[in-house]
Amino acid sequence: MKSLQTWSGISNFKYEGSVAEGTIIYYGKKPGIIKVSSGQFSQLLHHFKGESVKIGTSRDNTPKDSVGE
C-alpha cells in the first residue's frame, strides 16, 4: 500500500491497486474507503480525453465540471 499527501498538504491518504486493475483509496481517521474500478478509470479517461480538467478532490465542495464532480 502506498501513502501520499493530499493536494492541500493537510493530511495523507493511502491507496492500493492501479488504473489497469482498479484502486482502493483509504482516507481519514475511520478510514473512509473509495473504490475506483478499472472500468471507471476507462470511462474517465475517455470522457476527459484531450482536455485539461480540474481534479476536484474536495469531498464537500467540488468544482463544476471537475473529475471529483
According to the model, what pLDDT value does residue 50 have?
Answer: 94
41/43 Cα distance (integer angstroms): 5
Closest to 68 in 3D by CA, of 20, 45, 60 = 60
Q: Please, are residues 67 and 53 in contact by the beta-carbon 8 Å criterion?
A: yes
Could you tell me the residue range of the domain that residue 55 belongs to? 1-69
- Total domain count for the chain? 1
pLDDT in tens, the chain (69 residues): 999 998 888 889 999 999 999 999 999 888 899 999 999 999 989 998 999 888 887 767 888 888 877
Q: Which secondary structure element, helix H or strand E, spans residue 14, and what is its range?
A: strand 12-18
32/46 Cα distance (integer angstroms): 27
According to the model, what pLDDT value does residue 61 have?
Answer: 81
